[in-house]
Structure 1
Amino acid sequence: MTRTLKASGFLGLAVMMTVGMYQFVLLSGGSGVPGWMIGGHAHLGVLSILAIVMGFAVPALGVTGNLRTAVTGLYVAGQWGIPGIVWLGEGAGVALLMPTGFLWGGCLIASMLIMFYVTVTEEGGGTGSGPTGMPTADD
C-alpha cells in the first residue's frame, strides 16, 4: 500500500511539472496563465510531495490492516480529486463538479485524522523500523 502512495506522489509530481512547463510555454508566448491552472498546479505539487512522505510515515508508525487501506485510498483520492476538480470544474467549464471539492477535501482530512489517531494511540510511537532502521522521533 505504501508503494501506491509513493507511486501516486511521483506520478503527481511528473504531471505537476508537465503543467508547469505548459505554463512556461504560455508565458513565453506572451499569454497569461489562468488562475485555475496555477491553483491546480500548486495543489497537485504539494499533495504529491505529501503522498511520498505518507508512503514513509505509514509503515514508520506501524499503520496496518483496514486503517492502512483507508489512509492510502482516502489520501490518493484527495490528492488527485482536489486539483482535478479545479482543472475540470474551472478549466473545462464543468462547474457541476466543483461541490465535490468537499468530498475530496474530506478524504484528505479523514486520512490525516486516521494518522493522528494512530500517532496518539500507538504505544512507543511506532515500530522504529523505518527505511533507515533508525527509531522514529517521539516528540
Structure 2
Amino acid sequence: MTRALKGSGFLGLAVMMAVGLHQFVIVAGGSAVPPWMIGGHAHLGVLSILAIVMGFAVPALGVTGTTRTAVTGLFIAGQWGIPGIVWLGEGFGLTFLMPTGFLWGGALIVSMLIMFYYSVTQPSDAAGGGSASFAPGDD
C-alpha cells in the first residue's frame, strides 16, 4: 500500500510539473494563467509531496491491515480529487461537481486524523521516537 502512496505522489508531481510548463507557455504567449489552473497546480504539488511523506509515515507508525488500506485510499482520493475538482469544475465548466470538494477534503481529513491517532498512541521508542544514541553537537 505504501507503494501506492509513493507512486501517486511522484505521478502527481510529474502532472503538476507538466501543468506548470503549460502555465509557462500561457504566460510566454502573453496571456494570464487562469486562477483555477494555478490553484489546482498548487494543491496537487503540496498533496503529492505529502503522499510521498505518507508512504514513509504509514509503515513507520505501524499502520496495518484495513486501517492502512483506508488511510491510503482516502489520502489518494483526496490528493487527486481536490485539484481535479478545481480543474474540472472551474476549468471545464462542470460546476455541478464542485460540492464533491467536501468529499475529497473530508477524505484527506479522515486520513490525517487516523495518522494523528497512530502518531500519539505509539510508544515513544517506536518509529525512531526514542532518544538518540549520541548527543547532538551544538552547531
Taking structure 1 as the reference length, what is the TM-score of the superposition?
Answer: 0.91
SS of the equivalent of 2:124 reads helix
Distance 1:25 1:137, change over 3 A: farther
C-alpha deviation, 1:136, in angstroms: 4.0
Aligned-residue sequence identity (percent) comes to: 76
Equivalent in the alignment of 1:37: 37
Note the C-alpha offset of 1:122. Answer: 1.9
Deviation string, structure 1 residues 93-138 (Cα, Å, up to 9, x no partner): 0000000000000000000000011111222353x3xxxxxx2468
Whole-angstrom distance in 1 between the partners of 2:37 and 2:129: 38
Tell me the TM-score normalized by structure 2.
Answer: 0.91
Give the alignment of 1:1-139 within 5 angstroms. 1-124=1-124, 126=126, 128=127, 135-136=128-129
Distance 1:137 1:51 in 2: 25
Give deviations 1:25-75, integer Å, cap 9, x for gaps.
000000110000000000000000000000000011111111101100000
Residue aligned with 2:37, SS: helix
Larger Rg: 2
1:131 alignment counterpart: none
User: Using the alignment, how far apart are the partners of 2:66 and 2:118 within structure 1?
Assistant: 12
**What is the number of equivalent residue pairs in this alignment?**
131
Task: List structure 1 segments (4+ residues) > 4 angstroms apart after TM superposition.
Answer: none
Equivalent residues of 2:124, 2:130 under 8 A apart: no
Q: Which amino acid in structure 2 is aligned with residue 26 of structure 1? A: I
Select between 60-69 and 34-43 the one with higher mean Cα deviation.
60-69
* Conservation of the 8 A alpha-carbon contact between 1:85 and 1:97: yes
CA RMSD in angstroms comes to 1.2
Task: Structure 1: give runs of 5+ residues left out of the alignment.
Answer: 129-134
